[in-house]
Structure 1
Amino acid sequence: MPPAPSPRLFLIDGYAMIYRAFFAYGAQPLINSKGENTSIARGAYDFLRRLMDKHKPEYLGWVHDAGLSFRHERYPAYKATRERLDPAMQADFDTGVERISQILTAMQIPILKLEHYEADDVIGTLVRQAPKLGVNGVIVSGDKDFVQLVDDGIWILNPWHGRPGFTSEKWYDRENAAERLGVIPERVIDYLALLGDASDNVPGVKGIGDKSAIALIEKWGPLENILEHIDDVEPTRARNALKEFRDNGVLSKELVTIRDDLPMTLDLESLKVSTPDWNRLRELFVELEFRGNAQEAAAHASGVPPEPRGATSAPPAAPVGVPDTIPRRYTVVDTVEAVAALCARARSAPFLSFDTETVLEQGAPPIITPHRANLVSLSLAFEEGEAFYLPFAHRGWASDQGDLLLSTPKSPSTAASGGSIAARAIAEGGSGEVKNLPSILSNEMAPLRDLLGDASVKKTAHNAKYDLLVLRRAGVELRGLDFDSMLASYVLDPGRRSHAIDALAIEFLQLAMTGYDELTGKGKAQIPFDQVPISAACEYSCADADIALRLRKLFEPKLKESGADALLRDVEMPLVEVLARMEWNGIAIDVPWFHSLKTRFARERGAVEV
């Protein structure tokens, strides 16, 4: 069945979407670093974006229930059998509803509701008015009850006909509506009245099943006519059921009938799809720790919307991980003279933040380890918003060179045609000029090695042990390491969900950083870091050094206030070098000592057992 033609008003059954999102993750809900359950916000927003990207509705409304309805007054047991959430889950659910309300407001999508009525009745009333205004109405829901509303100019879109949403969606109009329940839309309320609805605790006529209900409707039509000819109903079992539970059938029809006459007027202008408030969305996504969504919103807010997946274009002019409030100055340093000047300047700074970028040696398994990693570049930062990129081993993109990560050839149509930042840059203009510095072990780089090896120059990094070992493998000994923002995060809060730099940037700096996979792609489409264009690599790597510096400035006073500063300085930081040496040299086992330990344990166990 083809989708409804334009123009269209899409009305979304909001709470159905919310419940589906809340329970979609089962026993593993999405929890951010602050402990907030973000399942509803994530699921509902992703659903909305897919809906809007795929179907591009001209008008859109999100419909909610508004407390208890007239059905509860008519039948107090209505929906009474639904399992109630425990207090903790209810709190998470309420928070999720508030979050999606904030997101909808930022997207400028109206939330429609009317006191004393359910969302179904609001949808029924508004969708009936749409065709009269020259607009096709589309009900977005998987709820079978809505089939009763299908008519000329009124469609149903069930996005969950297959899983996940929109993978096998189903459209219903007058031609195929009977496929859903076996009866035409006009008889749906009679069908539901006979059958009942366990999910809403609608009693129905006990003893009448699906086939019996359809047969009765095909022979007699509406419920009223069936009851009028009750003595003629066959088989006897169905006749007796109708006589015994007649009142339940009448009540059930009232309960399942969706009202379409509420005191509401369809205002199409207020439902017209408009441009979201991208700045507000970015703020919300940073709070929720939705990094990818925050980047997308920031790109839209800057006037440089992200390209659709698979498109080829130049990367954004500026990285979304850097806020407008702090000027960004990320510079490629590719001359010997500039390196010498940079090193001299760095010595006067309170401390130096650094980050290495690597590529696994040819033939190495695709496992992140510094012991098989070749140094590609180094980034240095000593002031917020300013960082310097020193390339040593970049090379231009060549699809037939082979992949240093997997040691298998790439075809020209794979990596460079992917959706990553690097792939888009290569497709637009190639790798650009590839200009590397001399080897880090060369005489020309002596000022840099002296700086890195000078213990009097304080240094900081994020996950410093990795960088320390990478430099050691490259032939450079790092000294003066006195702060690691990853370890500082752990000392401040061992239970924090993630100590990754991108998670900390969102939590403490409200910044969304570019992910490694976003830069290079992944799988067969991944571009080795040494083939990432230097301009894109600079933005990515410098952000790591810059953010590590900012986190240090933020964490140091927190460590002192909490009294945890000594733990980091006296225990965790010295342990970095110890662990690095253990990984580098390996460890030896004193076999005789362990044998003696075994004997001692056996003796002590014997004493206890006696």
Structure 2
Amino acid sequence: MSKDEIVLIDGNSVLYRAFFALPLLSNDSGVHTNAVYGFTNMLLKVLEDKDPSHILVAFDAGKTTFRHETYKEYKGGRQKTPPELSEQFPVMREILDALGVKHYELPQYEADDIIGTISKQAQVDKKKTFIYSGDKDLLQLASDHVTVGVTRKGITDIDEYTPDQVKEKMGVTIDQIIDLKALMGDKSDNIPGVPGVGEKTAVKLLNQFGTLENIYENIDEVSGKKLKENLINHKDEAFMSRELVTINRESPVEIKVEDLDYNGYQSRDVIELFKQYGFKSLMGRIDGEEEEVEREDVSFEKVDEFTKNLVSDQENYFIMEMLEDNYHNGEILGFSLVNEKGQYFIPTDVALTSGDFKEWLEDEQSPKIVADAKRVKVALQWKGLDLKGIQFDLILASYIVNPSNSNHDLPSIAQGNGLVDVSYDEEVYGKGAKQKVPEEDVLSEHIVRKGIVARKLYPILDEEVKKNEQEKLIYELEMPLSLILADMEYLGVKVDVDRLEEMQQDLSERLDKIEDEIYELAGQSFNINSPKQLGKILFEELELPVIKKTKTGYSTSADVLEKLQPEHEIVDKILLYRQLGKLQSTYIEGLLKVVHDDTHKIHTRFNQVLTQTGRLSSTDPNLQNIPIRLEEGRKIRQAFVPSKEDYVIMAADYSQIELRVLAHIANDEKLISAFRDDKDIHTQTAMDVFNVKEDEVDSLMRRHAKAVNFGIVYGISDYGLSQSLGINRKEAGQFIEKYFESYPGVKAYMDEIVQQAKHDGYVETIMKRRRYLPDITSRNFNKRSFAERTAMNTPIQGSAADIIKKAMIDVMEKLKASDIKANMLLQVHDELIFEVAKSDLDELNKLVKEAMENTVELNVPLLVEADHGTTWYDAK
């Protein structure tokens, strides 16, 4: 492709298309991202395919435009933009800035007008221009030098229109596009057009008469009495509609083509944003040159024999280096030790064969400042060493002080605090397939530099923790928890591999059976996994109603199939076939791959510094994500078993902890009373919202009440609730309004917490975990709205996370002080999983319930439900 090409994108149109095309997605911070993800995916494809010299994304500046002077009802009747979409506009602009793509909006004008004006400038200079939109409104701009691309359902699928292709696909010329729209009207923009004139009729009229004017000049030649009457009676509307749909190519834009030059982007900036918003699948498409940074030379000593003379009585900055994400039994590349005595590199073999090193490492009284104590402890446990004496964890401190940062590795923390003493790991090791360990002199210097920067960071982070009054949070919660999590990771969970393989076989047989049933219902065999073949069976052979079409044929997506369920029994079987196929490939095969060869256990990794709410997550594998709504998914838990004979699995689960925290924080009398009286909170809410007695609450009412209860915790909007319940937005809004009438304390809390956040710039959990909200006072409505929702729900979600973390510490303290033979294995959301000797089951049950229910004092009781069984599945 020629580099001298211009790309112009209709930002609003593409974002809208992406939002409604993709399922609602959100990152770990709760920011909705589906529209931004779809738009960014399309944008990267355009950048790769076109390699433009100039690029612009145009946005609508507001609801009112010059067209409203012509027709007050222009775009009237449109539903209010869902807040889940509104909040994504500022995110999209943030990503455009990182990608080096200019964006622009002009008061009183639409994105179409900006694009029309800029493309006209480019056409004068005969520059090749590509325009991209989510609808066909911009086809009128196509010319010999301008190609218009219209995204299809998949967002990255784009139909490109030149004037010839417009004629071929639409049946009219470019010059006739405006008249076509004038006759047809446009419901989405509330453009009236002529009643009874659809696309086919409009095309026929224009092919016969050429223009709108000629149609009216020869109105007597129009065939069809009703059509002629409509045309005559709605002549004014037709010409007004043409005025409304005509793009203004003389808009007073303050930019010119030469202002839109595109020079690429800094890959690190883009990657940081992609990490923040969870766009892992897009990160592999980002590449670029890194800036050279001048760093001071460092001197250090390579240790050939570790002795206690190297160790200080004061702080010892101790760094362990590994490349593997999965650090269980992985290769340790070396250590650094930095203190007032010197700067040392300790080769792995020197450290692991030294008695003095082991003695110092396991000395509780010898203070060590580390980065990621959990990781260091687990890796060393696999080498037979037990890390003790941790005074401070730089990674945890960074997370507590700056929870919105997406990266808490040592180089990122250093750079964030203005220290450039150490390179990013990818600069030293490379990334992806090119990753490798460098020569020892490069490796040793990199590891020592980490020790040096750790020494500089400690006073900075320590001061921040104290300033925020977060000493208890780090020293009494996060640091003790990290050591407990390390022991849990090292211990692992026993997996019955034979049972997993048996499940795999059973699922294969079940899938074969369902496959045969589908073939019988279809009357022929075909590839069920082929959307094209499946579409042909459903919509041509079985003649089911067509819901959606794609560029390649009929859509057979899950949402389409769900709508078709009442139409034919084959649909249920296809949905089940897909669900079971995913269980087999993603979960059963995925679990079998990560069973440790020697221990026959799964050693998941708990992420302690990931979410802004303080929630733990797990990876390699994600044991918090095993699907349990489908019985076949729940059964996967049957493969998780005790590691010893005469042991059982016990699960202890907080009951409705977030709603109890809400009752406490909001201090709502009615909510508090319901929990104190041990009422079913969803039934109680249904009684209040629907104004019925307890015996009149049916299952549907309770389900709706449950969705509202949990939705309130997550700051749900009327749109979000309507999607989850399958009702319209008006009904959903009424549910939420009635909820607030029933629980005025909750409404008062939400109003007050927003005001407090505006004053302080952050909100806190009951244990002083902060979440900063820089957009809470933004003039941008979308940014401010999302920050307000976050202010409401973070104290609830974050406090619930704090409570179960403290419960884990309390349980382990009591367990270690007892003679009970048991191990804590997992934390999954609000649930703790143990293995325990059968003889000690009752004692453990009592200990755990007592510790968990009394870990903090709230205005409402905390309730823990515990059960046990021979497998995790049975402990439900």
TM-score by length of 2: 0.48
The structure-2 alpha-carbon separation of the partners of 1:115 and 1:563, relative to structure 1 and needing over 3 Å to count, comes to closer
| Per-residue CA distance 1:235-262 (angstroms, 9 max, x = gap) | 3342233233332222111111122344
Deviation of residue 169 (structure 1)?
A: 3.5
Q: Given residue 8 of structure 1, which amino acid in structure 2 is its aligned partner?
A: E
Which secondary structure state, in structure 2, belongs to the residue aligned with residue 82 of structure 1?
coil
Which secondary structure state, in structure 2, belongs to the residue aligned with residue 177 of structure 1?
helix
Partner of 2:368: 459
Q: Given residue 198 of structure 2, which amino acid in structure 1 is its aligned partner?
A: G
Partner of 1:474: 383
Q: Given residue 182 of structure 2, which amino acid in structure 1 is its aligned partner?
A: A
Distance of 2:845 and 2:384 partners within structure 1? 41
The alignment's C-alpha RMSD in Å is: 5.0
User: Conserved in 1, the CA contact under 8 Å of 2:33 and 2:88?
Assistant: no
User: Which aligned pairs between 1:229-308 and structure 2 lie closer than 5 A?
Assistant: 229-262=218-251, 267-274=256-263, 300=289, 302=291
| Per-residue CA distance 1:286-314 (angstroms, 9 max, x = gap) | 997899999999964616xxxxxxxxxxx
Partner of 1:484: 393
Distance of 1:198 and 1:267 partners within structure 2? 33
Partner of 1:134: 126
User: Conserved in 1, the CA contact under 8 Å of 2:60 and 2:106?
Assistant: yes
- In the alignment, structure 1 residue 163 sits paired with structure 2 residue 410: no
Partner of 1:198: 187
Give the counterpart of 1:15 among 1, 12, 15.
Answer: 12
Partner of 2:772: none
The structure-2 alpha-carbon separation of the partners of 1:507 and 1:352, relative to structure 1 and needing over 3 Å to count, comes to closer
User: Conserved in 2, the CA contact under 8 Å of 1:31 and 1:37?
Assistant: no
Give the gaps of 5 or more residues in structure 2: 492-642, 644-820, 823-835, 849-876
Partner of 1:569: 475
Partner of 1:376: 332
- In the alignment, structure 1 residue 80 sits paired with structure 2 residue 36: no
- In the alignment, structure 1 residue 176 sits paired with structure 2 residue 165: yes
User: Conserved in 2, the CA contact under 8 Å of 1:6 and 1:135?
Assistant: no
User: Conserved in 1, the CA contact under 8 Å of 2:318 and 2:368?
Assistant: yes
Distance of 1:600 and 1:52 partners within structure 2? 60
Distance of 1:285 and 1:31 partners within structure 2? 13
The structure-2 alpha-carbon separation of the partners of 1:300 and 1:479, relative to structure 1 and needing over 3 Å to count, comes to same
Distance of 2:476 and 2:159 partners within structure 1? 63
Distance of 1:345 and 1:598 partners within structure 2? 47
Give the counterpart of 2:318 among 343, 348, 353.
Answer: 353
The structure-2 alpha-carbon separation of the partners of 1:582 and 1:115, relative to structure 1 and needing over 3 Å to count, comes to closer
User: Which aligned pairs between 1:531-570 and structure 2 lie closer than 5 A?
Assistant: 552-566=458-472, 568-570=474-476
Deviation of residue 189 (structure 1)?
A: 0.9
TM-score by length of 1: 0.65
Distance of 1:58 and 1:463 partners within structure 2? 44
| Per-residue CA distance 1:449-472 (angstroms, 9 max, x = gap) | 344234443113344234223213
User: Conserved in 2, the CA contact under 8 Å of 1:193 and 1:252?
Assistant: yes
User: Which aligned pairs between 1:293-332 and structure 2 lie closer than 5 A?
Assistant: 300=289, 302=291, 327=296, 329=298
Higher deviation after alignment, 149-158 or 293-302: 293-302
Partner of 1:28: 25
Which secondary structure state, in structure 1, belongs to the residue aligned with residue 465 of structure 2?
helix
Distance of 1:581 and 1:114 partners within structure 2? 58
Distance of 1:376 and 1:148 partners within structure 2? 63
| Per-residue CA distance 1:161-199 (angstroms, 9 max, x = gap) | 47353xx44332222122443322111111111111122
Distance of 1:300 and 1:567 partners within structure 2? 40
Which secondary structure state, in structure 1, belongs to the residue aligned with residue 164 of structure 2?
coil
Q: Given residue 58 of structure 2, which amino acid in structure 1 is its aligned partner?
A: V
Give the gaps of 5 or more residues in structure 1: 304-317, 319-323, 360-366, 393-436, 602-610
Partner of 2:201: 212
User: Conserved in 1, the CA contact under 8 Å of 2:143 and 2:163?
Assistant: yes
The structure-2 alpha-carbon separation of the partners of 1:243 and 1:515, relative to structure 1 and needing over 3 Å to count, comes to farther
User: Conserved in 1, the CA contact under 8 Å of 2:335 and 2:447?
Assistant: yes
Deviation of residue 570 (structure 1)?
A: 4.8
| Per-residue CA distance 1:20-74 (angstroms, 9 max, x = gap) | 5677775333465xx7777787766665554334312233334344443221110
- In the alignment, structure 1 residue 51 sits paired with structure 2 residue 46: yes
Distance of 1:464 and 1:79 partners within structure 2? 57
The structure-2 alpha-carbon separation of the partners of 1:151 and 1:581, relative to structure 1 and needing over 3 Å to count, comes to closer
Q: Given residue 322 of structure 2, which amino acid in structure 1 is its aligned partner?
A: E
The structure-2 alpha-carbon separation of the partners of 1:86 and 1:13, relative to structure 1 and needing over 3 Å to count, comes to closer
Which secondary structure state, in structure 1, belongs to the residue aligned with residue 163 of structure 2?
coil
Give the percent of matched residue pairs that are identical in Structure 1 and Structure 2: 26
Which secondary structure state, in structure 2, belongs to the residue aligned with residue 559 of structure 1?
helix
Q: Given residue 569 of structure 1, which amino acid in structure 2 is its aligned partner?
A: Y
Count of residue pairs the alignment pairs up:
501
Distance of 1:250 and 1:573 partners within structure 2? 71
The structure-2 alpha-carbon separation of the partners of 1:457 and 1:599, relative to structure 1 and needing over 3 Å to count, comes to closer
Distance of 1:515 and 1:23 partners within structure 2? 37
The structure-2 alpha-carbon separation of the partners of 1:506 and 1:213, relative to structure 1 and needing over 3 Å to count, comes to farther
Deviation of residue 479 (structure 1)?
A: 2.7
Partner of 1:118: 110
Distance of 1:203 and 1:103 partners within structure 2? 41
Distance of 1:388 and 1:22 partners within structure 2? 54
